[in-house]
Amino acid sequence: MSGPAVLSVASEVFPLVKTGGLADVAGALPPALAAEGVAVRTLLPGYPAVLAALPAAATVHDWPLLNGGPARLLEARAAGLDLFVLDAPHLYDRPGNPYVGADGKDWPDNALRFGALGAVAAELGRGLLPAFAPGIVHAHDWQAALAPAYLHYAGEPRPRTVMTVHNLAFQGQFPAELLAPLGLPPHAFAMDGVEYYGTIGFLKAGIALADRITTVSPRYAMEIRTPEFGMGLDGLLRSRAGALFGILNGIDTEYWNPATDPYLAARFDAGSIAARAANKRALQERLGLDVGDDAPLFGVVSRLTWQKGMDVLLAALPELLAHGAQLALVGSGEAELEAGMRAAAAANPGRIGVLIGFDEAAAHLVQGGSDALLVPSRFEPCGLTQLCALRYGSVPVVARVGGLADTVIDANEMALVASAGNGLQFSPVTPEALALTLERAVALWRDRPTWRRLQQHAMSAEVGWQRPARQYAALYRSLATA
């Protein structure tokens, strides 16, 4: 069955630009939707890395002045995606991370940078290019969240809008004086509009004004309606509950495929799990750990932030070591946590190995070589690393929150009897609860036949995009006929 044409709008898209899971989703969902008969075009900013990857892009529109400078819209096809790239050098021609400068601070003009993204999405939605008339504009996270707002205030006829919340912690809040520079009408600055505690709230606006809101797991869709997880937006989300849906993320199972992964020392599948031993050795060597299979090896691939519970992990490291386990961590983020991880490695040579940085190859090796993958997040909208871990037979040990709770089946006694468990869950997110679960994981690992069964269950889990893509396609169709 086919569906309405869709414009997907995101500030990062793998493999062109990535800081986290948003890029993975924005890069993998459109091809999966194509298989459902839904044609998607993707709009993203023209950062230097994006432009460099698209030398053959064609200019399809020019703006003499867009939020302070000239801009043009490029069209290109790359990485299986039909792309629109917003080339606006005064906004995007900057080195490094898309959101922060070299000083680690947000770019001061982020409102105008990502306001332009939303504004161009709205223009495309309203027929800027006669050859492309989307029925749906799908905005991802705060950077794209003004698109539904601009479309709302422009009035009918307009495409229907979907706002996907990947992380409620990042909301895009800016001073009220930017209302006119952003081209929003004065009446937009209201409680049922873009106004948010006296500021302009990009994500707030998207949530308030989109026709549908989705988030990336059913459990997170419930959690964010509570004060504990709602980050100040729970009231609004409760009021919009009828338009709010949780659709679990998938991963690109061709890219994340242990049978073909070029980053692994040894490739394997569910029938050759023993071959993982070579990856464990390679990972131990890469991270300076004692090489051998007499210690269980816990892996981490993560932003080093409070959300990800990395301080909780640091506090539980003595217990991890006391149980004879090793840790292999690949991550980057907050300076204090980076320093803490480095210090732990220095104090425990051969037992704790850390690679501070963003390293695609090392991330794959952790998935293919660790015995278990730790994800001790305080909150987790979906989480993708535990899905990769399932696919690679690294048993996920996760906090019982959000998408982690929705994707990992705890190997408790009854689950073991029923042959259902594929990982371990713990709660609450405290060093004590984590330490107890590490103890449980190590005991299961020492029972090799049981551990092998867990790995097999993990590797047989459905973690691809087929099911979620069908759900997005159904949502688009329901909107197009609404």
CB of 185 to ligand GLC, least distance (A): 31
What is the signed CA dihedral for 434, 438, 439, 440, rounded to 10 degrees?
100
Cβ neighbours for 47, distance < 8 A, ≥ 6 positions apart = 17, 92, 93, 94, 98
If binding is defined by CB under 6 A, does position 373 make contact with ligand GLC?
A: no
Q: Which is nearer to ligand ADP, 173 or 307 (CB)?
A: 307
If binding is defined by CB under 6 A, does position 332 make contact with ligand ADP?
A: yes
Q: What does 360 bind: ligand GLC, ligand ADP, none (CB cut-off 5 to 8 Å by kind)?
A: ligand ADP
The window from 19-27, 31-39, 41-49, 238-246 that contacts ligand ADP (CB under 6 A) reads 19-27
If binding is defined by CB under 6 A, does position 21 make contact with ligand GLC?
A: yes
Task: Estimate to the nearest angstrom the gap between the alpha carbon of 353 and the chain centroid.
Answer: 25
Q: What does 301 bind: ligand GLC, ligand ADP, none (CB cut-off 5 to 8 Å by kind)?
A: ligand ADP
Q: Which is nearer to ligand GLC, 168 or 282 (CB)?
A: 168
**DSSP per residue, 15-64:** TTB-SSHHHHHHHHHHHHHHTTT--EEEEEE--HHHHHH-TTPEEEEEES
SS3 453: helix
Cβ neighbours for 322, distance < 8 A, ≥ 6 positions apart = none
- Which residue is associated with the tokens 């800027």? 128
What is the signed CA dihedral for 475, 158, 111, 89, rounded to 10 degrees?
100
The window from 196-204, 225-233, 327-335, 468-476 that contacts ligand ADP (CB under 6 A) reads 327-335
The window from 224-232, 331-339, 354-362, 378-386 that contacts ligand GLC (CB under 6 A) reads 378-386
Q: Which of 4, 21, 246, 421 contacts ligand ADP by CB under 6 A?
A: 21
Q: Which of 152, 166, 219, 400 contacts ligand GLC by CB under 6 A?
A: 166
CB 421 within 8 A of CB 450: no
Query: What angle, rounded to 10 degrees, do the helices at 466-480 and 21-34 form?
Result: 70
What is the Cα–Cα distance from 86 to 414, expressed in whole angstroms?
53
Q: Which of 27, 201, 246, 381 contacts ligand GLC by CB under 6 A?
A: 381
Which single residue brings its beta carbon nearest to ligand GLC? 21
Q: Which is nearer to ligand ADP, 32 or 112 (CB)?
A: 32
What is the Cα–Cα distance from 85 to 8, expressed in whole angstroms?
12
Q: Convert 382-394 into a string of H (helix), E (strand) and C (coil).
A: CCCHHHHHHHHCC
Tell me which residue of 286, 282, 316 sits closest to 397, measured CA to CA: 316
Q: Which of residues 240-279 bind ligand GLC (CB under 6 A)?
A: 249
CB of 164 to ligand GLC, least distance (A): 8
The two three-digit tokens of residue 88, written as one number: 């606006």
CB of 388 to ligand GLC, least distance (A): 11
CB of 402 to ligand GLC, least distance (A): 7
Q: Which is nearer to ligand GLC, 167 or 199 (CB)?
A: 167
If binding is defined by CB under 6 A, does position 22 make contact with ligand GLC?
A: yes
CB of 383 to ligand ADP, least distance (A): 4
The window from 17-25, 82-90, 111-119, 431-439 that contacts ligand GLC (CB under 6 A) reads 17-25
Cβ neighbours for 93, distance < 8 A, ≥ 6 positions apart = 46, 47, 48
- Which residue is associated with the tokens 């867009």? 66
If binding is defined by CB under 6 A, does position 382 make contact with ligand GLC?
A: yes
CB 28 within 8 A of CB 252: yes
Task: Report the run of H or E that residue 441 belongs to, with start and end.
Answer: helix 431-446
Q: Which of residues 409-468 bind ligand GLC (CB under 6 A)?
A: none
If binding is defined by CB under 6 A, does position 464 make contact with ligand ADP?
A: no
**DSSP per residue, 146-198:** HHHHHHHHH-SS--EEEEEES-TT---EE-GGGTTTTT--GGGSSTTTTEETT
Report the chain's terminal Cα–Cα distance, integer Å.
17
What is the Cα–Cα distance from 339 to 73, expressed in whole angstroms?
42
Q: Which of residues 45-104 bind ligand GLC (CB under 6 A)?
A: none
Q: Which is nearer to ligand GLC, 30 or 381 (CB)?
A: 381
CB of 332 to ligand ADP, least distance (A): 5
Interface map 353-392 toward ligand ADP (x if CB under 6 A): -----xxx--x------------------xxxx-------
Q: Which of 20, 69, 230, 232 contacts ligand ADP by CB under 6 A?
A: 20
Q: What does 305 bind: ligand GLC, ligand ADP, none (CB cut-off 5 to 8 Å by kind)?
A: none
DSSP 350: B
If binding is defined by CB under 6 A, does position 11 make contact with ligand GLC?
A: no
If binding is defined by CB under 6 A, does position 385 make contact with ligand GLC?
A: no
Q: Which parts of this chain interact with ligand GLC (CB under 6 A)? A: 20-22, 25, 166-167, 216, 249, 380-384, 403
Q: Which parts of this chain interact with ligand ADP (CB under 6 A)? A: 20-22, 24, 301-303, 330-332, 358-360, 363, 382-385
